[in-house]
Amino acid sequence: MQNTDITIVGGGSAGLTLALLLARQQLRVVLVEQGPAPSAAAPAYNRVSALNMASRSLFQQLGIWPQLLAGAAAYTTMQVWEADSFAKIGFSAEQQQLEALGYICDNEHIRQLLYSQLQQYSNVQCYFNVAISQLKQGEREVMLQLDNNELVLSQLLVGADGVNSFVRQHMQLPLTHWDYQHTAIVAKIRCTEPHQLSARQVFLPSGPLALLPLPEPDVCSIVWSAETAEAKRLMALDNTAFEQALCAASQAVLGPVKLQSERQAFGLTMRYASSWQRGRVVLVADAAHSIHPLAGQGMNLGLMDVTALAQLIGEQQALAEDIAATAMLRRYERWRKAEAQSMIVAMEAFKRGFSAKPALAKLLRGLGLAAVDQLPLIKQQLMAYALGLKGDLPELVKNQGAVVDSLP
């Protein structure tokens, strides 16, 4: 039997980041992951995320940023347009006086670097390839029985176990969800033209297609979200036909393309747990909310959840109070729900705004984006949200250096 302060279920980006934050706060942590430990292989860029400035600040604080940046593409411009209309808008790092607008990072590389930092802490125990046999909570502790015969007792248990969270289901935390009726196709491609470190997104009638630059100058990661029937059709095409369809859909902005990886498909669902905590159990990141990937904000949001939770736990530690106090967990829930709700609403507005097909809607979109494109102050505000620098940020990532200070 093991007694610990906090158990984290799930070793994705959120779970591992939380473990590291808590390890630095001298807490005893057990992390339980059903899959294998992060692989030490070089980044393959099969799954990537666009990290914003707030996440960058966090990873700087955690000491993994230099290595993460070495395997990332720092994009300096962003181009968003609508197919078959004049609606378009562009952003540049230079205009915002920043070195980059964001960073395309390999998801497994993020996990790997977090895990290697974690291994320096003797107060953290990670169990990989284990399943949960039992989860019970009492008044003073939570009991987790693992299928490797370990029994873990902790004061607080955190569900960081992703969209189909076992913890959320087991605790019967109610979930609101709706199907975006989109499937995202993810793949790595080689282009004929260099991407010039620009992130591109074209809104097609069936959904958005993003071309995200990777470190090689002519290699991109695509996230092609399309109505489910259309995505099925695209997935069924052979490689050559898919490459042609992709080149046409991207309006050949980077010329003809060649697939460099298998295609992976992800059905997209908005999920939002209406309660994030019960007793000594609390949810973070995708276990609490998942959103459409069109603005690349899901991981960024989850990373701020765990930073906020670690901050509030730290405040309890400083006061020698219960690290699972209901009032503190409710405060966390209110704080991060407000941020998640704003993002859910924004994603819905984007998705609906760009999928309205009538000619008048198209005209208004074109006029609206053209107008915003000419208004530097509004553009700066929009950008500050995308960079993760607006909203109620945790202390750790507030005012981190010149990058953050220079923003409106």
Ligand X SMILES: Cc1cc2nc3c(=O)[nH]c(=O)nc-3n(C[C@H](O)[C@H](O)[C@H](O)COP(=O)(O)OP(=O)(O)OC[C@H]3O[C@@H](n4cnc5c(N)ncnc54)[C@H](O)[C@@H]3O)c2cc1C
Q: Tell me: does residue 208 bind ligand X (CB under 6 A).
A: no
Report the residue number, 343 or 362, with the smaller CB distance to ligand X: 343
Among 53, 135, 184, 347, binds ligand X (CB under 6 A): 184
- Chain residue at closest Cβ approach to ligand X: 12
Q: Phi first, then psi: give them for residue 3, nearest 5 degrees.
A: -100, 130
- Least Å from the CB of residue 366 to ligand X: 26
Q: Tell me: does residue 339 bind ligand X (CB under 6 A).
A: no
Q: Which helix (H) or strand (E) holds 124?
A: strand 124-127
Is 237 within 8 Å of 170 (Cβ atoms)? no
Residues 280-319 close enough to bind ligand X by CB under 6 A: 285-286, 293, 296-300, 302
DSSP 212: E
Q: Tell me: does residue 35 bind ligand X (CB under 6 A).
A: yes
378-387: long-range contacts (C-beta < 8 A, 24 or more apart)?
Answer: 379/89, 379/91, 379/95, 380/96, 380/407, 380/408, 381/408, 383/91, 383/96, 383/101, 384/408, 385/346, 386/52, 386/101, 386/102, 386/295, 386/297, 387/52, 387/53, 387/54, 387/98, 387/101, 387/102
Report the residue number, 33 or 339, with the smaller CB distance to ligand X: 33
Report the residue number, 25 or 290, with the smaller CB distance to ligand X: 290
Among 186, 219, 222, 324, binds ligand X (CB under 6 A): 186
Among 7, 11, 230, 249, binds ligand X (CB under 6 A): 11
Among 6, 8, 14, 68, binds ligand X (CB under 6 A): 14
Report the residue number, 52 or 362, with the smaller CB distance to ligand X: 52
- Least Å from the CB of residue 293 to ligand X: 4
Cβ-proximal residues to 99 (8 Å cutoff; 6+ apart), any chain? 74, 76, 93, 403
In angstroms, the CA 337 to CA 339 distance is 5
Cβ-proximal residues to 346 (8 Å cutoff; 6+ apart), any chain? 295, 385
- Least Å from the CB of residue 266 to ligand X: 4
Q: Tell me: does residue 128 bind ligand X (CB under 6 A).
A: no
Among 4, 6, 8, 9, binds ligand X (CB under 6 A): 9
- Least Å from the CB of residue 362 to ligand X: 26
Among 121, 128, 266, 385, binds ligand X (CB under 6 A): 266
Report the residue number, 240 or 341, with the smaller CB distance to ligand X: 341
In angstroms, the CA 308 to CA 323 distance is 14
Among 18, 19, 21, 50, binds ligand X (CB under 6 A): 50
Q: Tell me: does residue 96 bind ligand X (CB under 6 A).
A: no
In angstroms, the CA 80 to CA 97 distance is 20
Q: Which of 176, 133, 149, 174 is nearest to 9 (CA)?
A: 133
Size of the site for ligand X (CB under 6 A): 31
Among the candidate windows 11-19, 312-320, 361-369, 385-393, which touches ligand X by CB under 6 A?
11-19
Rounded to a whole number of angstroms, the CA Rg of the chain reads 21
Q: Tell me: does residue 388 bind ligand X (CB under 6 A).
A: no
Q: Tell me: does residue 223 bind ligand X (CB under 6 A).
A: yes
Among the candidate windows 9-17, 144-152, 228-236, 319-327, which touches ligand X by CB under 6 A?
9-17
What end-to-end distance do the CA atoms of the chain give, in Å? 52
Among 83, 132, 346, 364, binds ligand X (CB under 6 A): 132
Residues 142-181 close enough to bind ligand X by CB under 6 A: 160-162, 166
Decide the pairing of beta strands 102-106 and 48-51.
antiparallel
Question: From residue 56, how far is each of 47, 361, 372 by CA, in Å?
Answer: 18, 37, 27
DSSP 34: S
In angstroms, the CA 161 to CA 278 distance is 16
In angstroms, the CA 53 to CA 51 distance is 7
Among the candidate windows 5-13, 187-195, 272-280, 346-354, which touches ligand X by CB under 6 A?
5-13
Report the residue number, 290 or 362, with the smaller CB distance to ligand X: 290
Q: Which of 31, 48, 215, 194 is nearest to 125 (CA)?
A: 31
Residues that bind ligand X (CB under 6 A): 9-15, 32-35, 49-50, 132, 160-162, 166, 184, 186, 223, 266, 285-286, 293, 296-300, 302
